[in-house]
Amino acid sequence: MNKPVLLIVDDDPQVLAAVRRDFRSRYREHYTVMSAASGHEALATANELKRRGDSLAMLISDQRMPGMLGSEVLTRSREVYPQARRVLLTAYSDIEAAVKAINEAHLDYYLSKPWSPPEERLFPVVDDLLDAWQAECLPEAKGLRLVGHQWSPRSHAIKGFLASNLISYHWMDVDRDSGARALLNAAGVGDDELPALFFDDGGSVLRNPEARQVAERLGRPLSAAFDVYDLVIVGAGPAGLAAAVYGASEGLRTLLLDRHAPGGQAGTSSRIENYLGFPAGVSGSELTRRAVMQAQRLGAELLMPLGVTRVSIEGGYKRLTLTDGREIVTRAMLAATGMLCREHPARGMADHTGAGVYYGAATTEAAGIAGRRVLVIGGGNSAGQGAIYLSRHAREVQIVVRRESLRESMSQYLIEQIEKTPNIQVRPRTEVEWVEGNGRVERVGLASLEDGSCANEEVDALFVFIGTRPCNDWIPPSVLRDGRGFVLTGRDLLAVEAYLRIWKETREPLPLETSEPGVFAAGDLRAGAMNRVASAVGEGSMVVWLAREYLALT
């Protein structure tokens, strides 16, 4: 069986036949549609598919079935196919069960009966879920294969680039995967040339590549199509992506740049639970994937990895110098570069960055820490989301936080999930003093803030979520900031003494406009931002309307 499987479960023969009919009418060209009349039969089928090496893309189960509820079927199926999409088929009276399944079974969606007409109420949902599954899943023997050492900073950098740019790949640890060494020997790749990226085209390989080389080899555009743009957006987080979508839809010649990848900090989040319209939550990578597709479909131009090193302004035109030395010109510009992770000051932390010390990167490195003991440092929502995600792979996860508890800094829904996860332990009033190891993290010193004692403990990796600072090093000095480096906009500029010397327009700055006319700021980089995905999206969308107003004045 070469096609991925869609498995439908329902004890009612008529309902089962109806769902099977609708699914086959839409998906039989690319998927094999199978069915089961009970939860036990469904799990047996899943196990048989796994034994045969087939892919299970989606499991759709009715909730109320004798012997085993649908939510239990979906929960237990995670042990066999963790990446398969799980959908609960419910009656109106089962909505509470569906909401519970979202939290406990990591349900992807629930569909209410009846689902007619399927073109409106069934297929759009399933299409989105299958697109997401296709983006994440790749057969091990096909596609890109990245071979390297788990604790290599270079390997970590390429893994991060591929994952952040939504490029599916299969990671092979040369020290743990039996086929990795044979693959290297066949291609004549030495250990000093790792990491190595193998392509599914008959054997071509990139040895120890830079991110830009990978982008070029994959055919990603790195040259601007035009000399002058209406709107250039620097930074492809939620604010930048929203501006790209709205700018292109409004007919502006729109270019989006990012020095690394789309998504920003939000793109690395394993689960965003409170974004409007996603009752089951949505991963940062999935939200990013949807936004990128939408921006490109509407006509926005995206160049990554390509950042900006300098901005000069003359006659209202903004000249941007790119990291490769080239220049582009735009009439309006949005600064949306967000935040950079703060480095942890503990001794030995910098020496092991990328070799067991990771800033964020929970989703990128999760597979490599299977069965290991890890620490998550920080008490905010990002730390909580990272810990929950890592707990699905690691043997033990400990959250190290300086405060008395997580309640001062973390959302309640995350705290409840952490309390229900048996392999997560919270260590309050504790901080990391030092990190040691031979080429990789092996030991840490954990200091108690209560009595000053320090415990020497063995760990395999640390994931750091301790805060951020604004990414503003590329912005010209004439764009005013507050004392912490955040960019001032709108009426907040009026209270700054330097504003009167810099602003030469007869009008006041527009909302979200900086002290340079036509240069806007949005998202976490902006002073007074709400630091939420939804608010960043709102600001990015709003900038397009303001940029049109500015362009009409010039």
Per-residue pLDDT of the chain (554 residues; tens, 9 = 90+): 478 999 999 999 999 999 999 999 999 999 999 999 999 999 999 999 888 878 899 999 998 898 898 889 998 998 888 889 999 888 765 667 767 767 666 788 888 877 888 888 889 889 989 988 887 775 544 578 899 999 999 999 999 888 888 788 888 999 888 788 888 988 899 999 999 999 877 668 999 999 989 988 888 888 899 989 999 999 999 999 999 999 999 999 999 999 998 998 888 787 788 888 887 788 888 899 899 999 999 999 999 999 999 999 998 999 999 998 999 999 999 999 999 888 999 999 999 999 999 988 778 888 888 899 999 999 988 899 899 989 989 999 999 999 999 998 898 989 999 999 999 999 999 999 999 999 999 999 999 999 889 999 999 999 999 878 899 999 999 999 999 999 999 999 999 999 999 999 999 999 999 999 999 999 999 999 988 899 999 999 999 999 999 999 88
Q: How many other β-carbons are positioned within 10 Å of the β-carbon of residue 180?
A: 21
Task: Give the count of domains, the chain.
Answer: 4
62 within 8 A of 9, measured Cβ to Cβ: yes
The length of the chain in residues reads 554
The secondary structure of residue 486, as a DSSP letter, is P
Q: What is the DSSP string of 59-101?
A: EEEES--SSS-HHHHHHHHTTT-TTSEEEEEE-GGGHHHHHHH
- Shared-domain flag, residues 271 and 301: yes
Domain membership of residue 363 (yes or no) is: yes
Q: Does the N-terminal peptide bond of residue 153 adopt cis geometry, omega within 30 degrees of 0?
A: no
- Shared-domain flag, residues 189 and 258: no
Domain membership of residue 220 (yes or no) is: no
Domain harbouring 404, CATH code? 3.50.50.60
Q: How far apart are CA 427 and CA 402, in angstroms?
A: 8
Which residues are CB-neighbours of 97 under 8 A, at least 6 positions away?
A: 63, 69, 71, 88, 90
CA distances in angstroms from 337 to 307, 448, 534, listed in the order given: 10, 36, 16
Outline where DSSP puts E strands in 210-251.
Answer: 228-234
Q: How many other β-carbons are positioned within 10 Å of the β-carbon of residue 173?
A: 17
CA distances in angstroms from 370 to 16, 155, 392, listed in the order given: 37, 17, 8
- Shared-domain flag, residues 455 and 478: no
147 within 8 A of 183, measured Cβ to Cβ: yes
- Shared-domain flag, residues 232 and 321: yes
Last residue of a domain, one of 466, 497, 516: 466
- Shared-domain flag, residues 26 and 175: no
Domain membership of residue 489 (yes or no) is: yes
Pairing status of strand 196-198 against strand 145-148: antiparallel
Instruction: Show the 3-state SS of 290-324.
Output: HHHHHHHHHCCEEECCECEEEEEEECCEEEEEECC
Domain harbouring 204, CATH code? 3.40.30
- Shared-domain flag, residues 234 and 283: yes
Domain span at 38: 5-136
| Burial label, 551 (beta-carbon count in 10 A; 0-12, 13-18, 19+) | middle
- Shared-domain flag, residues 252 and 336: yes
The secondary structure of residue 524, as a DSSP letter, is G
522 within 8 A of 543, measured Cβ to Cβ: yes
Q: How far apart are CA 532 and CA 523, in angstroms?
A: 8
Backbone angles phi, psi at 12, to 5 degrees: -90, 115
Last residue of a domain, one of 136, 154, 177: 136
Residue 327 in 3-state DSSP? strand
Domain membership of residue 217 (yes or no) is: no
Which residues are CB-neighbours of 136 under 8 A, at least 6 positions away?
A: 83, 168, 285
- Shared-domain flag, residues 98 and 163: no
- Shared-domain flag, residues 24 and 91: yes
Q: How far apart are CA 545 and CA 99, in angstroms?
A: 37
493 within 8 A of 511, measured Cβ to Cβ: no
CA 314 to chain centre: 37
- Shared-domain flag, residues 518 and 545: yes
Domain harbouring 54, CATH code? 3.40.50.2300
**b/e sequence 139-163, b meaning 16+ C-beta within 10 Å:** eeeeebbbbbbbbbebbbebbbbbb
Nearest to 333 by CA among 505, 518, 536, 80: 518
249 within 8 A of 352, measured Cβ to Cβ: no
- Shared-domain flag, residues 51 and 97: yes
Domain membership of residue 154 (yes or no) is: yes
| Burial label, 412 (beta-carbon count in 10 A; 0-12, 13-18, 19+) | exposed
Domain membership of residue 360 (yes or no) is: yes
- Shared-domain flag, residues 36 and 81: yes
Q: How far apart are CA 334 and CA 272, in angstroms?
A: 25
| Burial label, 345 (beta-carbon count in 10 A; 0-12, 13-18, 19+) | exposed
Domain membership of residue 219 (yes or no) is: no
Domain membership of residue 168 (yes or no) is: yes
Pairing status of strand 5-9 against strand 254-257: unpaired
Q: How far apart are CA 127 and CA 443, in angstroms?
A: 46
